[in-house]
Amino acid sequence: SGKEISNAVFNTLEKWGLVHKVQAFVFDTSSNTDRFNGGCTLLEMKLGRNILFLACRLHIFELVLQADMSSVKLYSSSVNYIKPWFTANKTTEAPWNDILLLKNLNKYKEQDAIVAGACLQKFVNHLWYLADEPVLFSLFDANVPLEEKQRMTEKLRKLINSKEIEDVKDEDLTPKKYLLPYDELNDFLEKDFGS
């Protein structure tokens, strides 16, 4: 259970003297981030501070591929998952490749609406990890066009200048589902995606 996981990890961190060193969690399943009982959620509460959540994108691509296969019961070669799959563990490259895959899946609707729809549904339900911090890692990706990086930094400047510190309400912590279209990385900065 999430409680057992969080207790085991916290006790190990205490034993090794690392409790105050933890800055981020890397995980691969949604059970770790359940709002009330997820291992990461409970561990973050035990640590008493905000922790950066870095979801393993491979799990998300497994779900997308599973949706592809189950929607047509055969392999679809028209959508190329290879690059996103092998760059999912590269923090700086993954957000841009995710955007490119979303665009390709959207284009693929013209050829096979069933497969594209199933894949997009899985993918957009797992885009919660494209929050401000992980998206900003893509500023260090050589594949992101300079114009996109400039739009991101300009938007970031505006957000920093306009942001007021406020208390987060419990209802603000409810996981959100993402809806298309979001064509560029800067679209994911400071978005409140509807449920």
Q: What pLDDT band is residue 100 in, cutting at 50, 70 and 90?
A: confident
pLDDT at 79: 54
Q: Which amino acid is at 124?
A: V
Q: Could you tell me the maximum CA-CA distance found in the chain, to the nearest angstrom?
A: 56
Lowest mean pLDDT: which of 37-41, 44-48, 57-61, 174-178?
A: 174-178
Whether the per-residue pLDDT at 177 is higher than 50: the answer is no
Q: Which amino acid is at 14?
A: E
Between 150 and 173, residue with greater pLDDT: 150
pLDDT at 145: 93
pLDDT tens sequence across 4-36: 888 888 999 999 999 999 988 877 665 566 667
In the three-class reduction of DSSP (H, G, I as helix; E, B as strand; rest coil), residue 52 is classed as strand
Whether the per-residue pLDDT at 78 is higher than 80: the answer is no
C-alpha closest to that of 106 among 117, 95, 93: 117
Q: What pLDDT band is residue 2 in, cutting at 50, 70 and 90?
A: confident
In the three-class reduction of DSSP (H, G, I as helix; E, B as strand; rest coil), residue 88 is classed as coil
Q: How many CB atoms lie within 10 A of CB 161?
A: 7
Q: Please tell me the distance from the alpha carbon of residue 17 to that of residue 57, in angstroms, as a whole number.
A: 29
Q: Please tell me the distance from the alpha carbon of residue 125 to that of residue 171, in angstroms, as a whole number.
A: 19
Q: Please tell me the distance from the alpha carbon of residue 190 to that of residue 136, in angstroms, as a whole number.
A: 11
Q: Please tell me the distance from the alpha carbon of residue 103 to that of residue 164, in angstroms, as a whole number.
A: 34
User: What residues have CB less than 8 Å from 141, skipping those under 6 apart?
Assistant: 92, 93, 95, 96
Check: CB of residue 184 under 8 Å from CB of residue 148.
yes
- Percent of the chain surpassing pLDDT 70: 62
